[in-house]
Chains A and B, each alone.
Chain A
């Protein structure tokens, strides 16, 4: 009988890169273990714009990245239809861009570069741009339409994990990598800590893949390998409703706060780029300076942002990697970095996959899996570019919704939008199941039960990443008591409700504190009033 602690490959990191790699490895028939110290999509994966890049942003400076992006853009629309929204995108030129050398001459250069990279781009008049996206800055002097979109990174990551499991992978969340098991120059596996039970365990595999994002620096160091990484913090703001329906970019050299992305019920502006120390990566706080900068640049794209309530602020860390070919370590590789540490450092059984971006996660996973297969002597080719993810099989939500008896309710429509063809597994058995728990995002009790049953949820943050519960305009103010009760009951631990709610509120509070003035502060006072003074659930027992 095979040892349950033995695998062909261990993947460290439950972000999109690790999830994609686990899926690809499992689809090629490997026995896979994925370990993640928190929950899936808790690092940079869940802390970005959620932009489905067309690649246009890179077209002028970096044609290779641009071509990579548009290829993956087309693939994701196919395999992850349920995670992608085809909003289209605009690159706008403002009068002040003329003065800084990014006027209409630059637009012509931009168009040419896009078309050369295979990105369908066409210039439209300012009037057409305003008709297409009424919230755009009306003083624009030019606009280019590109095939940008938005992508839900939580859903995308969850779909990859789900599919990996369907293909036999074992996924352990809340399992922290402690150290390698090593014999001479060969990595034999990993020692881990179950952060919930406090138990340690050992798992062995012929190959271990480091897909831990910025934390991969520390993972590699444990193997005695140095990857020159730069943590680059990016701050973003979420606005209280969907201000724009089309992605708005600034047509100039990439700068801070020049992309505005609509996603589900909100709009996100970002981002900044600041080098931060490694110690800060676990405790990101958005500063007032970053907020000011994002607001200023955001208002240039879309003036109505000035009077729109900011829901919250958040920040992620990009895992930028120093180019191995540059001995000074100063030049940064923006592309995908796949390192076979046997060839590079003489450490056997160890591969790192890093750099890259959300958009190219599938390609990163393919490259990492190719490297794993070479090491294992497995000759199977990658099929992830052709095989749709769970939830995206039917493609069209209209088809999925037909499975409901009669006219689907708002909650059922919401569930179909989020879970795609997986919605068939959500059981609307009683009237209570159909009741909405989260009214901003239309999440029903049935969907919460499904997430607990099928998607590995153990707290409200996990639930939020899989169902969007509490992510809407009220930030959980009006639903978290209900959601905590429903989750605690679904978990079979009703006594946990108060603790679940308190932890969730602390997390929401963190995002609101950074933007705590104006209408956000009004909301914060309201939140305090609801939970402290009126005490809808027994907060005192927390």
Chain B
């Protein structure tokens, strides 16, 4: 199966990017675990002719010389979903877009470069109400591109909470998430 853009994640960032891109004439597919999928945005995307792989999730991807060629999902098994561009909108810890274990923080799908503090004692503030550093961790970008081992992946665009610096606890989180999705959309359109 081949698309112009595959969007990984159906939350606010993923659906914003997907709907915009689909409406501008690109053939899009969203892979989304059901829970985060908002009914209104789902409907809008479907009406624009987008493909929705609901209740499924991306499990791996094929990277080659700085490009993501295809991804595989849990339900489609061996089927490779190819696209020219990919949006990574997989969220932070709760949706497992970012995973923390005892010693490190990582991006589980592609092993992207993640910005985090190696000193675990700095992750939290003792006061629940204070800003919490762990919420700021996330993948790094350069020119809207994801990075792996310091090198840009030129067709993979992270958006939303998976990004370093964007977190659910920020008062203007919705605006930041939308605007990061629009950045990814603009970058894809420019190509």
- Determine which residue in A292, A510, A521, A539 has the highest number of CB atoms from chain B within 10 A of its CB, and name it: A521
- CB of A404 within 8 A of chain B? no
- CB of B81 within 8 A of chain A? no
Q: Is the CB of B94 within 8 A of A525?
A: yes
Q: How far is the CB of B173 from chain A (nearest CB, A)?
A: 6
Please pick, from B96, B123, B126, B170, the residue contacting A516 in the complex, using a CB distance under 8 A.
B123
- Assembled-state Cα–Cα distance A506/B96 (Å): 25
- Assembled-state Cα–Cα distance A542/B167 (Å): 22
- CB of A278 within 8 A of chain B? no
Q: Is the CB of A513 within 8 A of B129?
A: no
- Assembled-state Cα–Cα distance A528/B93 (Å): 12
- CB of A509 within 8 A of chain B? yes
CB-CB under 8 A from A509, the residues of chain B are 124, 126-128
Query: A-facing mask of B120-150, CB < 8 A → 1, else 0?
Result: 1001101111001011000000000000000
Q: How far is the CB of A479 from chain B (nearest CB, A)?
A: 15
CB-CB under 8 A from B102, the residues of chain A are 288, 291-292, 517-518
- CB of A237 within 8 A of chain B? no
Q: Is the CB of A528 within 8 A of B126?
A: no
Q: Is the CB of B129 within 8 A of A542?
A: yes
- CB of A344 within 8 A of chain B? no
Query: Which chain A residue has the least Cβ–Cβ distance from B168?
Result: A529
| A interface bracket (residues with beta carbon within 8 Å of B) | 20 to 34
Q: Is the CB of B173 within 8 A of A502?
A: no
Query: Are A529 and B101 also in contact (CB < 8 A) when A288-B120, A505-B128, A516-B134 are?
Result: no
Q: How far is the CB of A481 from chain B (nearest CB, A)?
A: 13
- CB of A531 within 8 A of chain B? yes
Q: How far is the CB of A292 from chain B (nearest CB, A)?
A: 7
Q: How far is the CB of A26 from chain B (nearest CB, A)?
A: 40
Q: Is the CB of B173 within 8 A of A533?
A: yes
Residues of B within 8 Å of A, CB-based: how many? 24
- CB of A374 within 8 A of chain B? no
Query: Which chain B residue has the least Cβ–Cβ distance from A292?
Result: B102
Q: Is the CB of B134 within 8 A of A529?
A: no
CB-CB under 8 A from A531, the residues of chain B are 128
Q: Is the CB of A521 within 8 A of B134?
A: yes
Please pick, from A291, A513, A522, the residue contacting B93 in the complex, using a CB distance under 8 A.
A522
- CB of B92 within 8 A of chain A? yes
- CB of B37 within 8 A of chain A? no
Query: Are A529 and B169 also in contact (CB < 8 A) when A502-B128, A505-B128, A509-B126 are?
Result: yes
Question: Which parts of A511-542 form the interface with B (CB within 8 Å)?
Answer: 513, 516-518, 521-522, 524-529, 531-533, 539, 542
Q: Is the CB of A517 within 8 A of B128?
A: no
Q: How far is the CB of A517 from chain B (nearest CB, A)?
A: 4
**Binding site of B, secondary structure by majority: helix, strand, loop or mixed?**
loop
Query: Which chain B residue has the least Cβ–Cβ distance from A527?
Result: B128
- Assembled-state Cα–Cα distance A174/B58 (Å): 54
Query: Are A522 and B124 also in contact (CB < 8 A) when A288-B102, A528-B169 are?
Result: no
Q: How far is the CB of B123 from chain A (nearest CB, A)?
A: 6
Q: Is the CB of A516 within 8 A of B101?
A: no
Query: B-facing mask of A309-324, CB < 8 A → 1, else 0?
Result: 0000000000000000
- Determine which residue in B100, B120, B167 has the highest number of CB atoms from chain A within 10 A of its CB, and name it: B100
- Assembled-state Cα–Cα distance A460/B175 (Å): 35
- Assembled-state Cα–Cα distance A510/B173 (Å): 25
Question: Which parts of A290-344 form the interface with B (CB within 8 Å)?
Answer: 291-292
CB-CB under 8 A from B134, the residues of chain A are 516, 521, 524-525
Q: How far is the CB of B120 from chain A (nearest CB, A)?
A: 7
CB-CB under 8 A from B94, the residues of chain A are 522, 525-526, 529
Q: How far is the CB of B73 from chain A (nearest CB, A)?
A: 22
- Assembled-state Cα–Cα distance A526/B92 (Å): 10
Please pick, from B92, B128, B169, the residue contacting A506 in the complex, using a CB distance under 8 A.
B128
- Determine which residue in A506, A516, A522, A528 has the highest number of CB atoms from chain B within 10 A of its CB, and name it: A528
Query: Are A506 and B93 also in contact (CB < 8 A) when A517-B101, A529-B169 are?
Result: no
Q: Is the CB of A539 within 8 A of B129?
A: yes
User: Can you show 28 pairs from A to B with CB atoms below 8 A apart?
Assistant: A292-B102, A502-B128, A506-B127, A506-B129, A509-B127, A513-B124, A516-B120, A516-B123, A516-B134, A517-B100, A517-B102, A518-B101, A518-B102, A521-B100, A522-B96, A524-B93, A524-B132, A525-B93, A525-B94, A525-B134, A525-B168, A529-B94, A529-B168, A532-B129, A532-B168, A533-B169, A539-B129, A542-B129
Residues of B within 8 A of A (CB): 92-94, 96, 99-102, 120, 123-124, 126-129, 132, 134-135, 167-171, 173
